[in-house]
Amino acid sequence: MSTIALNQDWLPKHFERHEVEESMVSEMRTDIVCANGQVSVKAYVKDSRGKVYEKHIQSDA
């Protein structure tokens, strides 16, 4: 199964779990950087009004 197919099944469930209407999200992306033994993840979501939400997670690998 392709990544796209997995996301088509998973993403609506993810929105529902977080009580977010899918139509309110206009963009999503995740940046993952591995450097110096650390993994840094930053998630971005842009809503239909243009507001951007960011969540940064960093952990030791």
Whether 2 is covered by a domain: the verdict is no
Could you identify the residue written with the tokens 């088509």?
Answer: 8
The candidate with the shortest Cα–Cα distance to 45, out of 30, 18, 27, is 27
Whether 6 is covered by a domain: the verdict is no
Whether 40 is covered by a domain: the verdict is yes
Residue type (1 letter), 3 = T
How far is Cα of residue 20 from the mean position of the Cα atoms in its chain?
A: 13
Confirm if 18 and 41 have CB atoms less than 8 A apart.
no
pLDDT tens per residue, range 5-57: 777 888 889 889 988 898 999 998 989 998 888 888 999 999 999 999 999 98
Whether 35 is covered by a domain: the verdict is yes
* Number of domains making up the chain: 1
Residue type (1 letter), 38 = Q
pTM: 0.63
**Domain of residue 36, residue span:** 25-61
